Chains A and B, each alone.
Chain A
């Protein structure tokens, strides 16, 4: 049996969030991934983010497809609702879940195979709907469970463990998402939790589709010399461009940012994302600027990270389709049924 429940031992002095829960309450089963897997670091960052956001565990939907990444929802927030669906189809399930109940928080965990190959169509279309969800791609450039084939995100020239260099063009989820119209686009690195946690928080609180592409090295099949998704390579070419801090609604922005370098963007619930820009001319609210910056960095071989683009104006799927604010699944049947009298009136049309 490969499901291992984690024993719950809570130190009385552990910090508690607004719900009175400790970070331990947001943990899940013991990970069965390889020791040192980047995905486990992302899981840890996710736990911290939802703990700090005071999300009631049962109000969280953890959605996934198939692959190493898609296993991870079992490793965080046991008391939430997981939906480990079929390969590449997590976006459609999340669309339905959100259509039925918009009160839940949805975190989708996917991988480069799940999103950029088998699920490319669903990935593109969930962006079109601007579905309100946090969509994480745990990107390692390789298929782990089937033992090391290249994925669609493998860079040209990147070497496989036992084979020649990849020659096909990679699909970059970040440029793809910018092109398709995603409204929150960020990239992180599993090895940088400090940067990652605020990016995840922002992605969760953003109303609309938030893509978080996280470079997450595969220690077993893609962490060797010559790989462009290894820890060493990522650390060497890793470039913080636009760091972001997440500020909850009640808190003031503490003015310790460089003048001219800080730029706050308010989210729907009143919380704020504050950008700290390395490049003062960079405008994260301009899709064109974000795209051109990204292309330049790819050419330079840099892995730029941070919150690259945000649009808080475009409505989410429910705004676009004009549905009521209430969760559809909770509308009483009496309100949904037109009744006998209406039916007999409708019958008149068919005589």
Chain B
């Protein structure tokens, strides 16, 4: 079937061969032609030599999820050739390096196999082993340009920008593009049945990964202390924060840094640094992933009880234990919501894409300061490390950080006495001071039993008074966190609740189900604790499908625990194989569950 601006290209390479820049070039060229794209990287937990894939979904309709099939496979890795061939959709194309003969056993009659002697061409035209390997990647981009009708002028423009300071690299890269392009034109009938064509749907948009956006958000939120222990897939968040700080946070007069990054000895220390810095008035954060959250538990409970703000980014990866560090999941919901021993619960934010990572970062710092408690931003590997097209990030110049109930020296001057944990406003949030600010502001921060005056206690009533007040604060948090995004029509009896990176697949699934005349309402939760709107959404439907990316239905559990909902109303649709969820899966699984639920209903009645 021939299509325009609806094609999925997947490139199979070996990691460490420099294919990332070629794949980025391919995706950006299509993006610059005004066509929405989705870029997904499937990579091993390894530095060099193992299989890696990059998938570009060209989607004129602007869908955000990954596709469920591959139209054009560029099979550059002999090791995975068989499975890469198997993955091509019937009627699709497979491009391979025909410098060497391929196994005759491997063939498929229902796809087109296009051989291009990429190595041979590059060996003849370039000197040096490294250049030959790199240019081979650029050459397949050239071939794809001919096969799919990608504008060569756009590719040229991109190369000129990338290598603005290294003119000879522009020339060599262009030469490689040309070699691939010309070979394809000469040997195949170009373009293929699936092509790209200029449109105007990417103006005012960028392509960015969630970790970069979150790191930028930390800079804009005014964070000055970042502590971390390197862990995939959160590392690039701190890398981004550091890079932006080096650019925008240097003191012109002294050359000193207006930020401090502590690479700690482990995650226990990283969160300890965050608490010390937050206690002292800096906005501080730590990026981590599931194993880091496990290690931080004791301190998270401390911060909850002693009421110290903290911002934690959990870029979730596939668990349990070490799991699959380079695969995605939403598997830390429960671990984060109730992290640490004792009665604890924590505020969570669920960004759905890279754009929301930027705004969530700022919101997390404001909420942490306002609520004087840890706030965790639960992104995931798919959001954090993949390329998302989103509207330009905007900045409101009137924004000022909400530092919450922080007493200034002037305010303390006018007070007779200051008590750290006295709830004078009835919202469960008490006033706090910063060390060194004023002689009257001193207080003792402790994780041991304390009374509302801040003194140590082992008295039952005094202890209970404080933990009960924390529940009042929890209800305040429920009103302060972002409300869910709800799409509602009274004609629909069923609904979907989902969160985070499921959003793209769910939205696309809603379109597909709509084509079958199945209407569903949609509620995307954006924070924990759940807002009243979430309860209302559930109560207004006979059945609600909870779509999430973990095995145990953790969002469903949280909904039943936090809102005291009858679990029978919530039907799980679970995706947890480590790959990002796609629309086809949501549709198939939902229809299956729906049929099952209906059959059960019929038998019951």
Contact = CB atoms under 8 A, between A and B. Distances in A.
A92 B264 contact: yes
A84 B281 contact: no
A99 B282 contact: yes
Contacts of B244: 338, 346
Interface stretch (A56-64, A244-252, A266-274, A300-308): A56-64
Contacts of A344: 392
- Which 6 A-B pairs rank lowest in CB-CB distance, beginning with the nearest? A96-B276, A92-B272, A100-B282, A324-B256, A96-B273, A350-B206
Contacts of B441: 58
B439 A56 contact: yes
Contacts of B401: 333
Interface in A87-124: 89, 91-101, 103-104, 121-122, 124
Contacts of B459: 1
A100 B280 contact: yes
Given A92-B268, A96-B278, A100-B281, A338 B219 contact: yes
Interface stretch (A75-83, A146-154, A215-223): A75-83
A323 B276 contact: no
B530 interface: no
Contact of A85 (B28, B262, B270, B275): B275
B431 interface: no
B51 interface: no
A2 B450 CA distance: 11
A121 B435 contact: no
B186 interface: no
Interface stretch (B173-181, B222-230, B343-351, B468-476): B222-230
Contact of B395 (A81, A129, A343): A343
Contacts of B202: 351
Contact of B458 (A2, A74, A78, A96): A2
Given A56-B439, A83-B279, A336-B258, A125 B224 contact: no
Interface in A316-351: 318, 321-325, 328-331, 333, 335-340, 342-344, 346-347, 350-351
Interface stretch (B95-103, B246-254, B532-540): B246-254
B28 A351 contact: yes
Contacts of A125: 264-265, 269
B282 A122 contact: no
A231 to B, nearest CB: 28
Interface string B381-401: 000000000001111110011
A79 B272 contact: no
15 contacts: A1-B462, A3-B457, A63-B276, A83-B446, A95-B273, A95-B276, A96-B274, A96-B276, A101-B435, A104-B435, A322-B257, A329-B434, A338-B220, A339-B395, A340-B395
B446 A84 contact: yes
Interface residues of A, number: 64
Interface string B274-308: 11111111101000000000000011001000000
Contact of B276 (A94, A331, A338, A339): A94
Given A92-B273, A100-B281, A323 B445 contact: no
B220 A343 contact: yes
B312 to A, nearest CB: 14
B31 A89 contact: no
B443 A81 contact: yes
A86 interface: yes
Contact of A318 (B260, B302, B393, B438): B260
By CB atoms of chain A within 10 A, which of B279, B281, B447 has the most?
Answer: B279
Given A94-B276, A323-B260, 8 more contacts: A3-B455, A96-B275, A97-B277, A124-B265, A323-B257, A324-B258, A328-B259, A330-B281
By CB atoms of chain A within 10 A, which of B225, B261, B266, B274 has the most?
Answer: B225
By CB atoms of chain B within 10 A, which of A5, A86, A122, A318 has the most?
Answer: A86
B436 interface: yes
B224 A74 contact: no
B208 interface: yes
Given A3-B457, A96-B284, A100-B225, A84 B445 contact: yes
B321 to A, nearest CB: 21
A99 B262 contact: yes
Contacts of B274: 96
Contacts of B458: 1-2
B256 A325 contact: yes
A98 B462 CA distance: 32
Contacts of A343: 216, 220, 393-395
Contacts of B163: none
B285 to A, nearest CB: 11
Contact of A321 (B205, B260, B266, B435): B260
A224 B298 CA distance: 36
Contacts of B397: 339-340
B248 to A, nearest CB: 4
Nearest to A103: B436
Contacts of A103: 436
Contacts of A325: 254, 256
A335 B277 CA distance: 19
B116 interface: no
B261 to A, nearest CB: 7
Contacts of A63: 276
Nearest to B274: A96
Contact of A81 (B225, B251, B257, B435): B435
B211 to A, nearest CB: 13
Interface string B178-221: 00000000000000000000000010011110000000100110
Given A86-B447, A93-B275, A337-B220, A347 B393 contact: yes
Given A337-B220, A347-B392, A351-B206, A122 B448 contact: no
B444 interface: yes
Nearest to B310: A96
B413 interface: no
B263 to A, nearest CB: 10
Contacts of B277: 96-97, 99-100, 329
A345 to B, nearest CB: 10
Contact of B400 (A91, A333, A342, A346): A333
B136 interface: no
B456 interface: yes
Interface in B439-494: 439, 441-448, 455-459, 462
B273 A351 contact: no
Given A93-B276, A96-B225, A96-B227, A58 B435 contact: yes
